[in-house]
Chains A and B, each alone.
Chain A
Amino acid sequence: MFHFSNLVRSKGDPKIISTGPSSLTAADRLARGLGWFSIALGTLELLAPHRVTNALGMQGREGLVRAYGVRELLAGVMTLSVEKKAGLWSRVVGDGLDMATLLGEVRPSNPRAGTVMAALVMVGGITVLDYLAAKDVAAQHDPKRGRKRLYSDRSGFPKGIAAVRGAALPRPASSTATT
């Protein structure tokens, strides 16, 4: 990507020779992957719900699948944003909804019950990933990490506040006149 962006740089600007370690943690990268997965799944559910309902023997419930698609898209956008923790927890809640819906479709009269079972296992796996990512992201970005210090001795005024309060006020002409 930076090879392309080098086109906008001038001759004397530094250009990347080799890259070093990133500020992104493993949890951030997993969250990013799950966010894009959410966007892809949400787009499929919103635009082609019949594919999902046909595969799972849920014909007639396209409206519900579309609604779940919207939910996936919202969670995906949130997971890809700086507020990824909220996005991941919303995915965990969404996974619960998906599993509840799928469990309702595990019935002898459903000819695609096997596929539903496979989908349940998949959603279960994704739920574990979502949960682990949410916990890792929360831990990585917890403001409580590190030492807690107060800076009550840092006035920034070596001579004390009283000595310098108003030091930058314009002085009356009489105090600056030379004799």
Chain B
Amino acid sequence: MKALVWHGKEDIRCDTVSDPEIEHDRDAIIKVTSCAICGSDLHLFHNYIPAMMPGDIMGHETMGEVVEVGSGVNGKLKKGDRIVVPFTIICGECEQCRRGNYSVCETTNRNKHLAEKVFGHTTAGLFGYTHLTGGYPGGQAEYLRVPFADATHIKVPDGMTDEQALFLSDIFPTGWQAAAQCDIEPDDTVAVWGCGPVGQMAIRSAILLGASRVIAIDRIPERLAMAEAGGAITINFDKESVVGRLNELTDNKGPEKCIDCVGFESHISMAQPDSVLDRAKQMFMLENDRPHALREIIYVCRPGGIVSIPGVYSGFSDMVPMGALMNKGLTIRTGQTHVNRWTDDLTQRIADGQIDPSFVITHTVPLAQGPEMYRAFRDKQDSCVKVVLKP
């Protein structure tokens, strides 16, 4: 089969690989009908996340049709079912899964010993996302083996298109969780840093969750325009001061709820000297992350407010203003997304026509064009916001 394979930094190839095989009785194999490139795939593209190996198949936003099931799937899936595959692999049985903390499932990471060394405890296995999280082959391929398939799936209702359902795998529940963990109240101002795909979903989730005002921060005109279309007031940080404008919009009190959809690859700009210093340190392995957005969020968030972090951080961040964080009494909520905690509700909202996540798709191309689309997405060429690949 064809698959997008990681060969090293900035080196993704559309290779011919052997087909996946059922290994355990809870496995299933799907024929992939749609998959997408995620912003966090770019962290792997840049080789910032440790423990990628040449030959790893990329991709954790995938859906398709079941073509084979193991004997232990117990009738929960059958051949021909259309499913979305959540990026977190879950057993559905461990203590964390029973609590709904699916992204920290205690069972599914097949390299637990590595995760325990790095994180202190294991987290869930993830598709196409380094050997720290199991080294499972990803879904930017013609076929995907889904481990623990009896729990790791979202059934697609009849009549729902691939484009509407695909983002239940990651970015829609990720944006939703980011907004939900802000405990939004009707008079809240929610500020969202980063208007990539997760930021776009967080903006719309905040609207659905009742925020009186959403403010979106980015520098790319087409992303800001898309944010504005979703109901946000926009700030272009290339043109105006984020802190100044946010204070102006909130009577100098700052937004109550702040969402960091940027993560550890903040934009580098001479106007933000800390971002240049972070990049220099990152280059010489003196720091993993560039947390400019997080610093700004902590500085500008209203005292007593909530900071929600769906953006990915990889390791160690310097100069995070802990003094401001502590003295302002901010609450931080973060984590990989507990996808299945939210997907029943979100699937229903799509079916009810409250939201159609396909708005974010700007490019649909064959899988073979994946390598060039990684470049275009990274370089933000051709007004690229979200790429869907069709194997």
Show 20 residue pairs from A and B whose CB-CB distance is below 8 angstroms, ordered by the A residue: A8-B135, A9-B137, A11-B23, A12-B23, A16-B16, A17-B18, A20-B13, A20-B371, A21-B13, A23-B372, A24-B11, A140-B375, A146-B382, A152-B225, A156-B359, A156-B360, A158-B356, A159-B354, A165-B210, A168-B210
Tell me, yes or no, whether A59 is within 8 Å of chain B by CB: no
Task: Give A8 to B374 CA distance when docked, in angstroms.
Answer: 26
A163 CB, nearest partner CB in chain B, Å: 8
A14 within 8 A of B: yes
- A12-B22, A143-B380, A159-B354 are known; give 8 further A-B pairs, CB within 8 A: A9-B137, A10-B23, A13-B145, A23-B374, A141-B375, A149-B383, A151-B229, A167-B349
Chain B positions within 8 Å of A28 at CB level: 10
Interface residues in A143-169 (C-beta closer than 8 Å to B): 143-159, 161, 164-169
Instruction: Give the interface SS of chain B, mostly helix, strand, loop or mixed.
Output: mixed
Cβ of B292 within 8 Å of any chain A Cβ, yes or no, is: no
The answer on a CB contact under 8 Å between A150 and B221 is: yes
Residues in B neighbouring A175, C-beta threshold 8 A? none
The interface of chain B, by Cβ under 8 A from chain A, is: 1-3, 5, 7, 9-23, 27, 45-46, 53-57, 110, 131, 135, 137, 141, 145, 186, 200, 204-205, 207-210, 221-222, 225-226, 228-231, 268, 279, 283-284, 349, 353-357, 359-360, 362, 368, 371-372, 374-376, 379-385
Q: B186 contacts A17, CB within 8 Å?
A: no
Is B226 a contact of A151 with CB atoms below 8 Å? Answer: yes
Q: Is the CB of B14 within 8 A of A152?
A: no
- Whether the Cβ atoms of B228 and A152 lie closer than 8 Å is yes
Q: Interface of A with B (CB < 8 Å)? A: 1-2, 5-6, 8-25, 28, 77-78, 81-83, 140-159, 161, 164-169
How far is A137 from B339 in the complex, measured between Cα atoms in Å?
Answer: 38
Known: A149-B383, A158-B353, A168-B210. A15 touches B17 (CB 8 A): yes
Q: Find chain B residues with CB under 8 A from A143 CB.
A: 379-381
B21 to chain A, nearest CB (A): 4
Measured CA separation A153–B204 after assembly (Å):
14
Could you say which residues of chain B place their CB within 8 Å of the CB of A153? 229
Q: Which residue of B lies closest to A151 (CB)?
A: B226
| Cβ-defined partner of A161 (8 Å) among B137, B231, B353, B381 | B231
B207 touches A17 (CB 8 A): no
A143's nearest neighbour on chain B, judged by CB, is: B380
Q: For residue A8, give the distance in angstroms from its CB to the closest CB of chain B.
A: 6
Instruction: Determine the chain A residues whose CB is within 8 A of the CB of B349 once the complex forms.
Output: 167-168
Assess the A19–B372 pair: CB atoms within 8 A: no
- Specify which chain B residues have a CB less than 8 angstroms from the CB of A22 in the assembled complex: 7, 11-13, 371
Partner of B131, one of A8, A15, A17, A146: A8
